[in-house]
Structure 1
Amino acid sequence: MAGVATSGRQRSKIAPYLMVLPALVYLGIFFVVPFFTLAKTSLSTSGGSVYLPTLTFAWDFANYAEAFSEYREQIIRSFTYSLAATVLCVLLAFPLAYVIAFKAGRFKNLILGLVILPFFVTFLIRTIAWKTILADEGWLVGALGSIGLLPDEGRLLSTSWAVIGGLTYNWIIFMILPLYVSLEKIDPRLIEASKDLYSSNTRSFTKVILPLSMPGVLAGSMLVFIPAVGDFINADYLGSTQTTMIGNVIQKQFLVVKDYPAAAALSLVLMVIILVGVLLYTRALGTEDLV
């Protein structure tokens, strides 16, 4: 009996490791190996031709220096656009998530379905649709011009605001859902208690609702900001040569120029900057309630 009990305890100790083993193998194959391959490529020198490039590992850190010196403007622009889109997503998604969580009643599932429905259409099609809407000959430009909100020669397409608007629209769903989940978990009796203590609506929001919804704000901000920084579709279709983001540069270096070391170095630089920014952001807001 003692032997059976001992073997049972051993199996119970091994079981958790066996359960996470598939995930670890998956991460090892599809994340760790590509990451080290990318790092090795970033320290290589390229040769050959555009049609048949060759790579030689040479600890070439000059690729990183060139990434900062030549594409600093695109890096800054990418983070600026993404930050603006994230802020807009918070401002637009919070009221909607609040209404769904507290005011929708039996229509809650219907409204959630309507929110999610447009995102069943592929990312590219939605972006091209916005290109049509914002076109110079489109109805939106004509309508804004007729009421004096846009100059005669003014345009919406190929501007910074078009790119930021595209980023906001395409990623806002990743802000709405975490905010809704966070708000839906708030006990309405806490809000009622604040009103019983003669708190105004504004004070109830700032002292009760907003602090309790911060896990959703934090999660939504990261889910929007991180993919938006590396996005190149919106800048490609809604922007111009003056609104190029770092994702466009990386895509061109990989697929057109075939300068793989430069593209890999840019990718790693972007990854490190995002990682540092996320760590600082989560440290500032806290992550205890995310689990």
Structure 2
Amino acid sequence: MTTAALDLDASPAEAPPADRKQRRNLTPWLLLLPGLLWLVLFFLVPILTSVSASVQTGNFDDGFKLTWHWSNYWAGDGTQGGALKSYWHQYLHSGIYSVATTVFCLGLGYPVAYFIAFKGGKWKSLLMALVIVPSFTSFLIRTIAWKTILADHGVVVSVLNHLGVLDVTRALGITVGDHVLASPGAVVCGMVYNFLPFTILPLYTSLEKIDPRLHEAGNDLYCSTFQTWRRITLPLSMPGVIGGTLLTFIPAIGDYINAQLLGNPNTSVVGQSIENLFLRQTNGYPVGSAMSVVMMVGTLALVMLYIRKAGTEDLI
């Protein structure tokens, strides 16, 4: 009887009150509330505003009205073309430059990250600092610096001319004439320099987690260095590859500073056209917003397709 009485006395105390259970259920939502408010105010509202502006008509002086003018996405209003019909060259340039930048950053960044992760030793922190420190300088200043590096009478262009490299790049349409500035090649060079740390950091994080003893096991099984990398290192570093390419491609496809400072009128990208429509045309808001929506939806579709095809579950 004593034990039963104790159990009966303890059971009401062990059962949590209804209000305590309710507070426990609300705690996760209260913790999420600041982040949700931030996303709503600075992510969802601007997106909805852009979508709404993309189907409006009017001008800056008289105001814009929501008229569901879907032709802004194709034909425009007569004074300037639609987002897709008249600016497809800019979309093409943005896509080509961003893909080229991503490929070059991966090709340059993977060996650097590999060396730091497995060969850096006690110098790992210093080497990673050398990768990150240039990013502390203004993006604009770093891009302008490439105008000096690629100047017509500079060392780089002189060496390329002497080696005959410019003859090949000119034939491929990468450079124009005997200079590198004001060409697609200069735009990609600037973008690769600016976005390379975004590729190296995820790659290094992924490679640094790999146990070096796996490489020793590959050697014990008579695998060559390349076979060990292909069968062990590369598969284990795929989350870093996927993350690095995404962190490079997404900002690169929206970048227009490099094209504006290092390119020419024939290398214009979407960002330049949007800036021109918003700042230099009184009735350019709707078409500029339509271009922004198309760019956003297209980038999202490409990223989702890439993640799906890559098959990595670490990013989902």
Which TM class, normalised by the smaller chain length?
over 0.9
* Match for residue 260 of structure 1 among 285, 289, 308: 285
Q: Is the 8 A contact 2:238 2:312 kept in 1?
A: no
Matched, 1:110 2:126: yes
C-alpha distance in 1 between matches for 2:237 and 2:62? 51
Q: CA deviation at 1:5?
A: 4.3
C-alpha distance in 1 between matches for 2:164 and 2:308? 45
Matched, 1:122 2:138: yes
2:91 partner SS: helix
Q: CA deviation at 1:147?
A: 4.4
Q: CA deviation at 1:53?
A: 5.3
* Match for residue 75 of structure 1 among 91, 96, 109: 91
Q: Is the 8 A contact 2:116 2:127 kept in 1?
A: yes
Identify which range, 102-111 or 142-151, moves more after superposition.
Answer: 142-151
* Match for residue 35 of structure 1 among 29, 39, 47: 47
C-alpha distance in 1 between matches for 2:314 and 2:185? 34
Identify which range, 87-96 or 186-195, moves more after superposition.
Answer: 186-195
* Match for residue 270 of structure 1 among 279, 290, 295: 295
1:178 partner SS: helix
TM normalised by structure 1 equals: 0.94
Structure 1 residues 53, 250: CA separation in 2 closer, same or farther (over 3 Å shift)?
Answer: farther
Residues 197-227 of structure 1: per-residue CA shift (max 9 Å, x gap): 2211111111111111111111111111111
C-alpha distance in 2 between matches for 1:277 and 1:195? 39
Report which of the two structures shows the higher radius of gyration computed on alpha carbons.
2
Structure 1 residues 173, 7: CA separation in 2 closer, same or farther (over 3 Å shift)?
Answer: same
* Match for residue 253 of structure 2 among 229, 241, 247: 229
Structure 1 residues 200, 147: CA separation in 2 closer, same or farther (over 3 Å shift)?
Answer: closer
| Corresponding residue of 1:178 | 202
| Corresponding residue of 2:184 | 160
C-alpha distance in 1 between matches for 2:121 and 2:18? 54
* Match for residue 202 of structure 1 among 215, 226, 236: 226
Q: Is the 8 A contact 2:90 2:270 kept in 1?
A: yes
Q: Which runs of 5+ in 2 are unaligned?
A: 1-12, 75-81, 168-176
- Which structure is higher in helix share? 1
C-alpha distance in 2 between matches for 1:97 and 1:18? 40
1:69 partner SS: coil
Residues 2-24 of structure 1: per-residue CA shift (max 9 Å, x gap): 67544333222211111111000
Residues 176-211 of structure 1: per-residue CA shift (max 9 Å, x gap): 000000101112222222222221111111111111
C-alpha distance in 1 between matches for 2:216 and 2:243? 27
* Match for residue 26 of structure 1 among 24, 38, 41: 38
Q: CA deviation at 1:251?
A: 1.0
Q: CA deviation at 1:278?
A: 0.4
What is the aligned length? 288
C-alpha distance in 1 between matches for 2:164 and 2:231? 41
TM normalised by structure 2 equals: 0.87
Amino acid at match of 2:231: K
